[in-house]
Structure 1
Amino acid sequence: MRRRDVRLRTLTAGAALALGACLVAPLPGAGATPREPAAETAEQSADYCEGRCADILPPGANGNATLAEILAHRLLGTQPAHANDQLGPYDALSSGYPSLTDDRLTDFFGDASFGVPDGQIASVTKPRDDVTITRDKKYGIPHIKGTTRYGTEFGAGFAAGQDRLWLIDLFRHIGRGQLTSFAGGALANQGLEQQFWPQAPYTEKDLEKQVEYIRATGGERGERAMEDAQAYVDGLNAYRVKAKNGRYFPGEYVLTGKIDAITNIGEIEPFKVTDMIALASVVGGLFGNGGGGEVESALSLLKSQEKYGVEKGTKVWESFRARNDPEAVQTVHDGTSFPYAGKPEKARGTAMPDPGSVEREQLVYDREGGAKSGAKDPVRAPKKLKPLQGMYDKGVLPSDLFRPGSHKKGMSNALLVSGKHTASGHPIAVFGPQTGYFAPQLLMQQELQGPGISARGVSFAGVGMYVQLGRGQDYAWSATSAGQDITDTYAVELCEPGGGTPTKQSTGYLYRGTCKPMEKLERKNAWKPTLADSTAAGSYRMQVWRTKYGIVTHRATVDAKPVAYVSLRSTYRHEADSIIGFQMLNDPSYVRDAATFKKAAQHISYAFNWFYTDSRDIAYYNSGANPERADSVDPALPVKGQQAYEWRDFDPENNTSAQTPPAEHPQSVNQDYYISWNNKQAKDFSTAGFGHSAVHRGDLLDGRVKKLTEAGGVTRASLTRAMSEAAVTDLRGEQVLPELLKVVRSKPVTDPRLAKAVEQLEAWRKAGAQRNQTAAGSRTYAHPDAVRVMDAWWPLLIEGEFKPGMGKELYDALTAQLSTDEAPSAGHGPTGAHAGSAFQYGWWGYADKDLRKVLGQPVKGELAHTYCGDGKLDACRDTLLTTLAQAVAKPATEVYPGDDACEAGDQWCADAIVHRALGGITHKPVQWQNRPTYQQIVEFPRHRE
């Protein structure tokens, strides 16, 4: 039986803590059952995959742990049932993929068929008479089957409570900017509030209004979505009450002082539908947003113009911005054009700040007691938790989850091959979201079967009323973060509502000719020490100003007039609108082919690349609430806050505007293959931010899948091998090292130390430039010296190649826009250390173009200036050899300085994936591999008639 069905007793803190059994009777007052669609039919839950669907989600399905289990884990090293049983198979693929066959896929993935065979049933729970939750023996995944729609969604909420109650509670408090009051005043918790709340500073009225907006504008589906959400919340609350009364609630509630372990006095606050809106804003903010950062872009442009003059400086900046680089790898590679957010021929309304005038808006006020950062900007803190007493001293969550620039976080990949090129004649897909590694995981697995719902896959914890990524009866879908520009920055002219001369600190602004007061939004948080957080008692207040054009982020002067720069995101006030699209994806009566899949994806407002496969077709659609901008507005830079430059049909009441029609979104059906790893979507579809240049990690997939497709006979195993090989390959070694070696080898290398290093790099490149173990579990790379040299060399060579020509100020401004490297061992960048995801953001494409120019090779979309050796081969070679000598001299202890997880000099561990603890359970480090966190392998042999 699952641990929740057993009554346990253990001693903790010198007293007995009773842990009760899971009751199965429905709770009174759980909510009336609303109207129901037609009852489920036998055809509704039919499975057309015939055992050819598989998936994996480490570390395990069970993300709750009682206090007894947390203490046993910390003291004895035990793991709760199903807490980490998917971690081993996931880890093993990094070494096992070379010999992978279709028959061996089950060694590394679980069966993703519908239902649970009779001999594999571990437990059956009935939280209501109209729903059962069946869990399988192997992984403990909940299979929820309802005879009514309300019961189905109630069961989904109940199962979410069983598997992720603490995590859901954490994230609703993050969404509401109340984490420190909930989990303690550790610096990391303060940092999360300070970094996330300003992006979505909603009042309770704002959240309620979003619920009503979906009801009012979504028609029958909108009404049903909110009914489903209420049923889900009812189920979550039912488990909350039972777990509290039965004393088998997550132990973190004791450790953070919410519940007394002896008396059971305390409360887990009831959940509301508005909590789901707040939680959705967290998920969307992490993975579904794009754009922003226009003020920082303007500052880097000013530095370029200061260095080179306006004309050339603009050209240099644009070449690094790479809005439409012709050498960038593209998902739609048939030449079809989808113009969006490009550079206008002659921009109107651009609001460049006066040099030296920009000030970031202050966020934190009235700080008293507790840990203090001493800084106005959001604080950061270490990433790992301490064991037992003080186990949350460094914060419940790693602060880099929402560090500045996290809006750039892309992640996720997809590989799909048309049936024309497979051995079976049916399409094959290997795809999934790369959402990072957490304990418990942000995603949770589930199967939902009920009236109007038939799907299996994953959902983000707390918003799992529908499967968000997974499979239906005869189709499957997944997504990658697209990150196209759906956020703009407006410069609103400041004024004084009562008259007088405005300053940069004024809280009035001009809106359509009238001076209006800004709306002040506040969040006050106070905390006291707990068992889990030894931070002294303290409090502080966060404050932001809201205008009709968005949230104030900076203040400056433009043409000597004081302005506030405000950020406007098209999905602001629409955090949960996408629920209708997910409802459609789960509805077997709606999605029956590629065309209906695309229509469903059109209802998802966040910026995602959606992929689809069935037994006949593969398809792609880019979703997002792409605003229609005024003519000749440059979306990469701040714009004047005037009506002439607003989004078309802009209405600030609900933040609505005209949006680009579906036909203008990148899309395709039955291209020979698709790959996506957060790369450029299509020709003329301008990317948001820097980094989509000649070398991108998408190249690691594109080259391999193209080769497979050209050879034909693709199988599930061969496509998985292609993904797995890319997952352990160093992008720099495969794509840029050849040019580096050509420059270095343009003359004989006479220094013995450098000659040896060059030979090691050449051998590593010839072997595939991989960061893989000599054998499973060896914790030693096959080419450790070459990997160490590359890790040490890259940041040195980039600085040596570009900084002398640019000068310090421009180099610093551009590296602030885009970090030079994101190797697996790097502790910087959007993902931080031990995060798995790597090589998404870096200067690889810039270096590649620059070096090819020096070598006299053709370059499309070249940089506006040649930097290495000022374009001279010998001088460039000298730079590379000088920096290589510095890299060779660096010992491993400096290249890999160590952290809470690793000893200094431990190369394998520096790269390794470490699941970041969101609760009391932790897991061992595993081999680095750059692949989706949740991953499906799908090949449907047949389709519904």
Structure 2
Amino acid sequence: MPPRRHLLKLPVAALVTALLAAGPVAAPTPAAAATGQDYCAGRCLDVLPPGENGNATLMDILGNRAFGTRPAHTADQLGPYEGLAAAYPGLTDSQLRSFFNDASFGVPADQVASTSRPRTDVTIVRDKATGVPHIAGTTRYGTEFGAGYAAAQDRLWVMDLFRHVGRGQLSGFAGGAAANRQLEQSFWQAAPYTEQELQTQIDAIASQGDRARQALADANAYLDGINQYIREAYNSRTFPGEYDLTGHIDPITNAGGIDPFKLTDLVALASVVGALFGAGGGGELASAQVKQAAEARYGTEAGDAVWQSLREADDPEAVQTLHDGQSFPYAEPPAQPVGTAMPDPGSVVPERMIYDATGTGSQTAATAAAGAPGVLPGNLLTAKHGMSNALLVSGRYTDDGHPVAVFGPQTGYFAPQLLLLEEIQGPGISARGAAFAGLSFYVQLGRGQDYGWSATSAGQDITDTYAVPLCTTDGSPVTLASNSYLWHGQCLPLDRLERKNSWAPTTADSTAAGSYTLVMYRSDYGLVTARGTVGGKPVAFTSLRSSYRHEADSIIGFQMLNDPGAVHDPASFQQAGQNINYTFNWFYADSAHIAYYNSGSNPVRAAGVDPGLPISAEPAYEWRDFDPATNTARYTPPTEHPQSVDQDYYISWNNKQADDYAAAGFGNGSVHRGNLLDDRVKALVRSGTKVSRVSLTQAMESAALTDLRGEDVLPDLLRVITSAPVTDPALAAAVQKLQTWRGDGTQRRETSAGSHRYADADAIRTMDAWWPLLADGVFRPGLGDPLFGALTGALQINESPSGGQTGATSGTSSANESIPHKGSAFQYGWWSYLDKDLRGVLGDPVAGPLARPYCGGGDLSACRTVLLDTLRQALARTPAQVYPGDGDCVAGDQWCADTIIQRPLGGVTDPKSTWQNRPTYQQVVQFPTHR
């Protein structure tokens, strides 16, 4: 591979001239696609912005930069997706297709845009409306070959990026920009694998039966399709132009190349997906620090009660997906925990990961953070991202007696998107929907012949922190720097996993040359994430995740979801879900039933262990039947996973699953983003009016535009404030605007489509400025600085649409709070704490209350003073202070600060769109018939 060159300095005219000399590529002859049986009768819809086409040649990229042009189908789903925000109140059934694609199987002959046959046993038809590939094979091999070929056509550059991300090698591939380094470091920390370990996952699958062997055959055929496209695209110069711009291929001579894909690349890609969306737990050190700070503040017994109330592990007021009384006990905090290993206060030091840094790689963290942006967001893994949602209603309550579902994953907004759309039809496969780029040999979320399915990230606790005693093999004194540990009485060396990265200078991001070595240490108790002392003795704090070294295992469950012979009813759907070890909530709808299943490898823990705190690394406290050689253990049986068939309705927005199914981490209390869905769907079901695809879509979109703080906490705030007359004219005027906004539904909606101005703009700005000041003013005096700071480390204060409202004083902000333009909002915040505390002050009944009052010490008058004082501070902040501006928006532009930006993963950018708190990929389905 040649070194990257300073390609952006080449004259645009010279590049265009050279590329034009290659001549045009002939278009294939259109033809219709073969399809499987379709029982949806045109009532299945979907949308995935910005567009299906993620392949821009160098000429396309240069045209986009010079003239704003884009290749066909690059952003054609963005307009309909955005348009629903303004149109949803008056939505009709006939208008649904104005905002969603027709997700029927096949392509009518008059809607065929192109047809290609990369082999004689497969046909790829793309439709005129969206350019989605409809892959039909006469053999299993040909079908999967076509899926790989189509994936490379649409997402080759993104696939290449993520196979390097999954190996911790992004900087060497795409340049040493600060964000690239940050991202590869976070993934290397979560899943550091040698090539042999990636291969071991493949070898393990091969021994798991016929379905597993078929899955490997499918993956190999898929790779063959990818690699054939790479060869053809290289010879015809139709490959993504990012390879030119990063120096992997010379734009004039065509020297260079694209490395072929292999099976271990797919495992690396799967590890990225698993780390992003399919894990849970791991916050035990942060939880321990909150507990210690609470006990230091209030004493051991009272402090422990404060910590437990803030943790809200099984809060009785938390919104739940299963609301019919089913109980699924898991990961509950025991009354008398055993084996807890609390770190000595102030002793915890994060594990060093960067060694031998030179050049750009030797910058300090602060310098690097201010550096050039990378091809991917540096905080893609480390930031807390809201994920996905689902709304399903039983046919007992619908307009035609058949269930309705509106559901989809929130995977962030990127250009090209991380997901792609496809239809796959072949022997044993019949599905249409979305799949992660590079793993699209099966549809992962979508529809089959007579059923639809989707998922939300569940995040139940499958990751534990162990305090592993350090030791030395030569009898020298044990220190935090010791790299051996005790395992069942033996002193063993920690495994050292290395990744050496170096990068050449680039003009694309003004990055100088540099290099470093990424190092992770691993024990039989998992990866070392920090060091410290317990009882004065040096320990390594490790992270043990049940899905580590098993990210590829879920291939079998996804295969089943695509197989019409395997999934045909709720029970078979739940069986497919059980074969997926990622922590997901799975939802299903056919013509007669809706169903739910929570997947994941839930380890069976030793009796009395609290999984919410660090655990002593001793045999008595290990996972039952734990085998470190294979990272396997005894897992809870399928009957103990939350599940249900035909509940009146289901909602999920990454909320708590069921009674006694303890939440991992903090933030599942009385106010959660899931309330926005639950309140609306419950009202629909209980209204007596039959639910339709339109009304359920309206419920989703209403929630998508609503400020959670405004709907569920502002009423408490206003009751406290108006418990006495507000005499200050400025405060009274602000209170009136907030009351008006509340009456208008506390939404963040444009005054009219395209106006780029919010209705109730002043009230929204007041709430944005007020919330972090409220949290500080209400809680810091009672918690004290150490506990307040520890709590912000466990649960961020705010996740507003624009980001940036992180508080006025140190200790109130989190890096996660300041992510702009990401769309997802209101999952993580102190909403529940304010709600419970204020209701307590007002004398309302509170189930699962905080252990002590905070606002004004529980006195209504004193609390009212705190609220008015912080409101006054909020009103003093100018629009430019509340919305400080960035490279995409001028300071003070409220609408722009909220806007969703498809963060570019390549050379083509897309327009901003109005804010919505909504899945990235979304389906609307209602099956009228069944096999």
TM-score tier after normalising by the smaller chain length? over 0.9
Q: 1:932 matched to which residue of 2?
A: 919
Instruction: Determine if contact 1:255/1:530 at 8 Å carries over to the other structure.
Output: no
Aligned match of 1:355: 345
AA of the residue aligned to 2:773: L
Provide the residue aligned with 2:668 in structure 1.
Answer: 692
- Provide the rounded CA distance (Å) in 2 between the counterparts of 1:157 and 1:398: 26
Quick check: 1:409–1:831 contact (8 Å CA) kept in 2?
no
Match of 2:845 among 851, 858, 883: 858
Alignment match of 1:336 (pick from 311, 317, 326): 326
Match for residue 287 of structure 2 among 297, 322, 341: 297
Aligned with 1:120 (options 111, 116, 141): 111
State the alpha-carbon separation in 1 of the partners of residues 739 and 43 from structure 2. 40
- Alignment equivalent of 2:448, drawn from 472, 480, 496: 472
Q: Could you tell me whether the CA contact under 8 Å between 1:418 and 1:672 is conserved in 2?
A: yes
Per the alignment, residue 571 of structure 1 pairs with 547
Among 438, 454, 475, the residue aligned to 2:414: 438
Q: Give the C-alpha shift of residue 22 in structure 1.
A: 6.5
1:454 aligns with 2:445: no
Equivalent residue for 1:819, pick from 788, 792, 796: 796
Is the CA contact (8 Å cut-off) linking 1:898 and 1:904 kept in structure 2?
A: yes
Q: Does 1:715 align with 2:702?
A: no
CA contact (8 A) 2:803 2:818 kept: no
Q: Give distance in 1, aligned partners of 2:227 and 2:862.
A: 68
Q: Does 1:839 align with 2:826?
A: yes
Paired with 1:478 and 1:380, the residues of 2 have a C-alpha distance of 36
SS in structure 2 at match of 1:567: strand
The C-alpha deviation readout for 1:178-205, integer Å capped at 9, x for no partner, is 0010001111111111111111000000
Match of 2:889 among 902, 905, 922: 902
Question: 2:388 matched to which residue of 1?
Answer: 412
User: 1:809 matched to which residue of 2?
Assistant: 786
**What's the offset of the Cα at 1:373?**
3.7
Equivalent residue in structure 1 for 2:91, among 74, 81, 100: 100
1:519 corresponds to which of 467, 474, 495: 495
Q: TM-score, normalised by structure 2?
A: 0.96
Instruction: Letter of the 1:455 partner, please give it.
Output: A
What amino acid is the match of 2:352?
Answer: Q
Corresponding position of 2:867: 880
Q: In the alignment, which of 770, 779, 785 is matched to residue 747 of structure 2?
A: 770
CA contact (8 A) 1:400 1:830 kept: no
Change (3 A) 1:770 1:937: same
Kindly provide the amino acid, as one letter, of the partner of residue 894 in structure 2: Q
Whether 2:137 is the aligned partner of 1:146: answer yes
Contact 1:325–1:692, Cα closer than 8 Å, also in 2: yes
Cα deviation, 1:62-89, whole Å, max 9, x if unaligned, reads: 0110000000000000011100000000
Counterpart of 1:397 in structure 2: which amino acid? L
Structure 2: distance between partners of 1:864 and 1:533: 51
1:461-484: CA deviations, max 9, x gaps?
001110000000000000000000
Given candidates 728, 752, 755, the residue that maps to 2:729 is 752
Instruction: Name the amino acid aligned to 1:870.
Output: G
Three-state SS of the structure 1 residue aligned to 2:301 is: helix
| Cα deviation digits, residues 762-789 of structure 1 (max 9, x gap) | 0000110000001000001110000000
Deviations 1:867-908 (A, max 9, x none): 000000000000000000011111101000001110000000
Question: Aligned pair in 2 of structure 1 residues 12, 681: CA closer, same or farther (>3 Å)?
Answer: farther
Note the C-alpha offset of 1:692.
0.4
Partner of 1:30: none
Q: Is the Cα contact below 8 Å between 1:381 and 1:398 reproduced in 2? A: no
Q: CA deviation at 1:12?
A: 4.1
* Aligned partner letter, 2:36: S
TM-score (norm 1): 0.94
Is residue 2:772 matched to residue 1:795?
yes
The count of corresponding residues between Structure 1 and Structure 2 is: 905
> 2:713 aligned to 730, 736, 741, which one?
736
Match of 1:672 in 2: 648
What is the CA–CA distance in structure 2 between the aligned matches of 1:451 and 1:577, rounded to whole Å? 22
The reply on whether 1:366 has 2:356 as its aligned counterpart is: yes
Structure 1 residue aligned with 2:466: 490
Structure 1: runs of 5+ lacking an equivalent: 1-9, 26-40, 383-392
Correspondence 1:203 to 2:199: no
SS at match of 1:463: coil
- 1:70 aligned counterpart, secondary structure: helix
2:144–2:222 contact (8 Å) kept in structure 1: yes
Alpha-carbon distance in structure 1 between the residues aligned to 2:14 and 2:793: 49
Counterpart residue identity of residue 828, structure 2: Y
Deviation of 1:530 (Å):
3.0
Q: Return the letter of the residue paired with 2:218.
A: D
**Cα separation, partners in 2 of 1:501 and 1:231, compared to 1, 3 Å:** same
Whether contact under 8 Å (1:303, 1:809) holds in the other structure is yes
The DSSP-based 3-state class of the residue aligned with 2:552 is: coil
Asked whether the 8 Å contact 1:409–1:830 carries over to 2, the reply is: no
Give the stretch that moved more between structures: 529-538 or 543-552.
529-538
Three-state SS of the structure 2 residue aligned to 1:910 is helix
How many Å apart are 1:500 and its aligned residue? 2.3
SS of equivalent residue, structure 2 residue 680: helix
Instruction: Give the secondary structure class of the aligned counterpart of 2:695.
Output: helix
User: Secondary structure of 1:490's match?
Assistant: strand
**Which amino acid is 2:398 matched to?**
T
- Given that 2:386 and 2:825 are in contact with CA atoms closer than 8 Å, whether structure 1 keeps it comes out as no
Q: Structure 1 residue 529: deviation in Å?
A: 1.7
Letter in 2 for 1:92: G
Q: Identify the range of structure 1 (189-198 vs 731-740) with the bigger mean alpha-carbon deviation.
A: 189-198
**Aligned with 1:454: secondary structure?**
strand
> Which range moves more in the overlay, 492-501 or 843-852?
492-501
Aligned equivalent of 1:780 = 757
1:63 equivalenced with 2:65 (yes/no): no
Farther off after superposition, 827-836 or 81-90: 827-836
Shift of 1:534: 2.4
Q: Does 1:509 align with 2:485?
A: yes
CA contact (8 A) 1:191 1:378 kept: no
Matched-pair contact (CA < 8 Å) for 1:47–1:114: yes
Amino acid at match of 1:360: P
Deviations 1:606-653 (A, max 9, x none): 000000000000000000010011111110011011111111111111
Cα offset, 1:121, TM superposition: 0.3
Partner SS for 2:553: coil
| Counterpart secondary structure, 1:116 | coil
Q: Does 1:186 align with 2:177?
A: yes
Distance between the aligned counterparts of 2:599 and 2:24, measured in 1?
44
1:542 to 492, 512, 518: 518
Give, as a single letter, the amino acid of the residue that structure 2 aligns with 1:120: Q
CA distance in 1, matches of 2:283, 2:915: 31
| Partner Cα separation in structure 2 for residue 894 and residue 847 of structure 1 | 24
In the TM superposition, residue 24 of structure 1 has moved relative to its aligned partner by 11
Q: Deviations over 1:226-272 (max 9, x none)?
A: 11111111111111111111111101001111000011000111111
Contact 1:354–1:559, Cα closer than 8 Å, also in 2:
yes
Secondary structure of the 1:880 match is helix
Q: Report the CA distance between 1:19 and its aligned residue.
A: 5.2
**Cα displacement string for residues 920-945 of structure 1 (whole angstroms, at most 9, x for unaligned residues):** 0111110000011100000000000x
Q: Let me know the Cα RMSD of the aligned residues.
A: 1.6
Q: CA 1:831–1:89 in 2, change beyond 3 Å: closer, same or farther?
A: farther
Q: Which 10-residue stretch deviates more, 847-856 or 538-547? A: 538-547
Contact 2:796 2:817 in 1 (8 A): no
Change (3 A) 1:93 1:882: same
Q: Which residue identity lines up with residue 858 of structure 2 in the other structure? A: G
1:535 counterpart letter in structure 2: T
Contact 1:186-1:371 at 8 Å conserved across structures: no
Deviates more, 1:516-525 or 1:495-504: 495-504
Unaligned runs of 5+ in 2: 1-11, 805-814
The Cα of 1:298 is off from its aligned counterpart by: 1.0
For residue 92 of structure 1, report the CA deviation from its aligned partner.
Answer: 0.2
Distance 1:308 1:12, change over 3 A: farther
Cα deviation, 1:307-360, whole Å, max 9, x if unaligned, reads 111111111011011000000000000111100000012111111111121111
Aligned partners of 1:600 and 1:247: how far apart in 2? 41
1-structure distance, mates of 2:88, 2:570: 31
Change (3 A) 1:20 1:225: farther
Contact 2:707 2:746 in 1 (8 A): yes
